[in-house]
Chains A and B, each alone.
Chain A
């Protein structure tokens, strides 16, 4: 696999960022939904501790991914796409980058406002961003939840779009983000 971006495929680095973060986000939704159903207690504390550690991992990866993205151009969109489709694709990708930062940051702020400092897998503790404040916690919690639904919807749209490109348009948009596939020009 080529390390630097090639015109037709995402690089190994870009693919790794994409799939590792995607896996972490699925884990995050699973942990959050499991914790939501539990009463305050040890089990909930444990699930949310993991949720916070994974969330901060996403934030660190998001920083690296954004830096990588700024210095490495992704492959061009297929020539057959209309201007509206291109704008939609770019908008969706920009929204993903926004959410990769906004989700962990609102979560971190939530923890700070509730006076539950965020530990990274028990190895070190992140500083609190704001002081304990119940009102702010409620606002941040609503924001975090609303953004999570936006992320969920966007992910569904993203998956459907990738499948549409692959099966309907028969271009290489899906395959160029899949590891272990041979580069090919389907357009």
Chain B
């Protein structure tokens, strides 16, 4: 094999790699339009809450999942379950303990294609505990950006969310459902 061929082959490979990296578009979530919601069970009835403050960075291309990534940072103090008493309790030391652990972080490790869309496994750091949490999501191109919607399930006690009385699951369920809808704008 002569030098010219090697050089040509290298150039082709490099440009392919460059093209592949270019395919992976980088976005940030428009938090005004995006929503991060959770559903818990309290005394046998579901209740919903949201986090008003979070940031999300998304690098995504459906054909380059290995290079794709979702990274979300959540301000735990911004929790809102539409009741001040409950929010105060949730922020307190026995539940979120926002005084010591004000943020939660989720970053994907692997993303794969599924029949319905995509699924990912990522590391969730919540209440100072890091554990893998799978998510299912859909990614759709939209004018001026993209939309990422999905769901996840986790058990609050895996993360020590609920100390003292709140360790019991008799009145507050262990399972918590998460749903998110991120309106993505190209990273400027």
Binding site for B on A (CB under 8 A): 40-43, 45-46, 48-49, 52, 114-123, 125, 132, 134
Q: Beyond the given A41-B165, A116-B83, please list 20 additional residue pairs across the A-B interface where CB-CB is below 8 A.
A: A40-B86, A41-B89, A42-B171, A43-B165, A45-B42, A48-B43, A49-B171, A114-B83, A115-B81, A115-B82, A115-B83, A115-B86, A116-B42, A116-B43, A116-B86, A117-B45, A117-B46, A121-B44, A123-B44, A125-B44
Q: Please name all residues of chain A whose beta carbon is closer than 8 Å to the beta carbon of B15 when the two chains form the complex.
A: none
Nearest CB on B from A44, distance (A): 10
Enumerate chain A residues within 8 angstroms of B88, measured Cβ to Cβ. Answer: 40
Q: Assuming A40-B85, A134-B84, is B168 touching A118 (CB within 8 A)?
A: no
The answer for the CA separation of A104 and B81 in the assembled complex, in Å, is: 24
A45 touches B168 (CB 8 A): no
Q: How far is the CB of B88 from chain A (nearest CB, A)?
A: 7
| Closest B residue, CB atoms, query A46 | B171
Do A42 and B45 touch (CB < 8 A)? Answer: no
For B171, the chain A residues whose CB sits under 8 A away are: 42, 45-46, 49
Q: Are A49 and B44 in contact (CB under 8 A)?
A: yes
**Distance (whole angstroms) from the CB of B74 to the closest CB of chain A:** 21
A125 and B45 within 8 A (CB)? yes
A to B CB contacts below 8 Å, 8 in the list: A41-B89, A46-B171, A52-B43, A114-B83, A119-B45, A120-B44, A122-B43, A125-B44
Query: Measured between C-beta atoms, what is the minimum distance from B90 to chain A in Å?
Result: 11
| Bound-state Cα–Cα, A172 to B171, Å | 47
CB distance from B8 to the nearest CB of A (A): 66
Cα–Cα distance between A96 and B165 once the two chains are bound (Å)? 39
Q: What residues of B have a CB within 8 angstroms of the CB of A48 in the complex?
A: 43
A118 touches B45 (CB 8 A): yes
B22 within 8 A of A: no
Main secondary structure of the interface of B (DSSP, over half): mixed
Contact B44 A132 (CB under 8 A): no
- Chain A residue numbers with a CB within 8 Å of B82 are 115, 132
Contacts of A121 in B (CB 8 A): 44
Distance from B39 Cβ to chain A, minimum over Cβ atoms (Å): 11
The answer for the CA separation of A117 and B83 in the assembled complex, in Å, is 12
8 cross-chain pairs, A with B, having the tightest CB-CB distances, nearest first: A119-B44, A122-B44, A49-B43, A42-B165, A117-B45, A132-B82, A119-B45, A115-B82
User: Can you name the residue of chain A whose Cβ is closest to the Cβ of B49?
Assistant: A115
Contact of B47 among A41, A42, A52, A117 (CB under 8 A): A117
Taking the nearest CB of chain A, how far is it from the CB of B108, in angstroms? Answer: 32
B159 part of interface (Cβ distance < 8 Å): no
In the complex with contacts A40-B88, A40-B89, A132-B83, A116-B168 CB distance below 8 A: no
Chain B residues, CB < 8 A from A49: 43-44, 171
Interface membership of chain B positions 161-185, coded 1 if the CB is closer than 8 angstroms to chain A and 0 otherwise: 0000110101110000000000000
Contact: B44 with A42, CB < 8 Å? no
Chain B residue nearest to A52 (CB atoms) is B43
A116 and B166 within 8 A (CB): no
Tell me whether A119 and B84 are in contact (CB under 8 A).
Answer: no
Q: Which of B114-133 contact A (CB under 8 A)?
A: none
- Contact A119/B43 with A40-B88, A41-B89, A49-B171 known, Cβ cut-off 8 Å: yes
List the A side residues contacting B44 at CB < 8 Å: 49, 119-123, 125
In the complex, what residue of chain A is closest to B166 when comparing beta carbons? A42
In the assembled complex, the Cα of A134 lies from the Cα of B89 at a distance in Å of: 17
